[in-house]
């Protein structure tokens, strides 16, 4: 149910909308406020949506909210006055990319679609990115509301889970929120990983630099973060690691490994410049991080958990082969 105070045209382009109350529907319970607002206000700049929340303009049952606040059915969300951006033509996903992404689907049933996301492709469009995996897959047959259940960094390849139905999305979001979804990554790091080091634990804080760049650092003011580590293969000057994050902080694996002194090869943000493009004579194609596997409890507790794996892509296979050839 929505109560609106109307809208009006605006000579500056786009459309001016008055404040309104939006009643949270039964299928929307458990969603974060920012995700719900971004869905409801599709043509409002993302920066404006987050500013609404930060300034206290968005209210839930009369109280202030954070972007991480989760809504419940029946609550009333006040959406403040806002202006939509002037709409241009929808970005067209190149057919070659659309075909490449659709060929990378590794599993599908009535609830979910699982993609082996190629490197270099954003999970979704926005923040200067015209389109991503979500747009390349949409529209999808029998999934009018295809939605991302989680995110992967643009340069990270591997398992990306999407929900085809609202009920499935709620279930998956709950699994990630309660940490019953288990992820495993492969990473190629610089240096010889010590055999005794099997767990990384350091609090992480998100920071905005003076130049406007956002990054993450280890800080006692940050949130707890834990990563389990095991060695898969030792290589000349590098180590192939298996990583299991116990928490899901932004850039957690990249920052933990860099802080430990073993940055991921090809990491443009957290690795030293000398390790971003090459390791000795071996070219590094991109961030050497791959989301290898994801296990999620099935919606029916009597069924076995969903388990999905994405094979290592050709560029990282080539990197490993080149490193092995240095022996």
Question: Domain of 18: which CATH number?
Answer: 3.10.290.10
In this prediction, residue 154 carries a pLDDT of 92
CA distance 269 to 234: 24
Q: How many domains does the chain fold into?
A: 3
- Establish whether 300 is a catalytic residue: no
- We report the CATH number of the domain holding residue 104 as 3.30.2350.10
Residue with the two structure tokens 């094979």 = 311
- Options 153, 155, 300, 315, the catalytic residue: 153
The answer to whether position 31 is within a domain reads: yes
| pLDDT 10s digits, 115-127 | 999 999 998 886 6
Domain identity same for 170 and 184: no
pLDDT at 200: 98
Calpha distance 46→5 (Å, rounded): 22
Predicted local confidence at residue 138, as pLDDT: 87
Answer yes or no: do 161 and 194 share one domain. no
Shared-domain flag, residues 243 and 190 = yes
Best CA proximity match to 32, nearest among 66, 63, 1: 66
Beta-carbon contacts of residue 110 (< 8 Å; ≥ 6 apart): 142, 164, 165
Specify whether the CB–CB gap between 34 and 48 falls below 8 A. no
Q: Give residue 316's pLDDT.
A: 97
In a domain, 88, yes or no: no
Same-domain status, 212 and 308: yes
Q: Which residue ranges of the chain lie beneath pLDDT 70? A: 1-14, 26-27, 85-91, 126-128
Please indicate, yes or no, whether residues 297 and 195 belong to a single structural domain of this protein: yes
At residue 10, the pLDDT reads: 46
| Domain containing residue 206 | 179-324
């Amino acid at each position: 149910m929505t109560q609106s105070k109307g809208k009006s045209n605006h000579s500056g382009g786009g459309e001016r909308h008055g404040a309104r109350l939006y009643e949270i529907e039964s299928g929307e319970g458990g969603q974060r406020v920012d995700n719900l607002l971004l869905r409801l206000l599709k043509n409002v700049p993302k920066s404006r949506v987050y500013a609404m929340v930060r300034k206290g303009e968005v209210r839930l049952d009369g109280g202030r909210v954070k972007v991480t606040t989760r809504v419940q059915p029946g609550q009333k969300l006040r959406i403040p006055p806002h202006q939509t951006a002037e709409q241009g033509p929808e970005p067209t996903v190149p057919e070659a990319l659309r075909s490449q992404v659709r060929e990378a689907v590794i599993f599908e049933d009535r609830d979910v679609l699982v993609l082996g996301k190629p490197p270099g492709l954003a999970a979704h469009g926005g923040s200067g990115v015209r389109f991503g995996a979500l747009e390349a897959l949409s529209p999808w047959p029998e999934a009018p509301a295809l939605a991302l259940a989680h995110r992967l960094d643009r340069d990270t390849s591997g398992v990306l889970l999407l929900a085809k139905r609202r009920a499935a999305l709620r279930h998956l979001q709950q699994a990630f929120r309660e940490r019953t979804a288990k992820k495993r990554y492969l990473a190629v790091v610089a240096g010889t990983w010590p055999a005794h080091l099997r767990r990384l634990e350091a609090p992480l804080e998100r920071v905005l630099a003076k130049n406007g760049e956002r990054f993450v650092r280890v800080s006692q003011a940050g949130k707890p973060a834990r990563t389990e580590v095991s060695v898969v293969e030792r290589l000349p000057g590098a180590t192939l690691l298996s990583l299991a994050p116990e928490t899901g902080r932004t850039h957690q694996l990249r920052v933990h490994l860099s802080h430990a002194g073993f940055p991921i090869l090809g990491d443009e943000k957290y690795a030293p410049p000398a390790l971003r493009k090459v390791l000795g004579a071996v070219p590094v194609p991109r961030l050497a991080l791959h989301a290898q596997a994801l296990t999620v409890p099935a919606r029916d507790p009597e069924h076995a958990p969903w388990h999905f794996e994405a094979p290592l892509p050709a560029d990282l296979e080539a990197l490993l082969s080149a490193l092995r050839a240095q022996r």
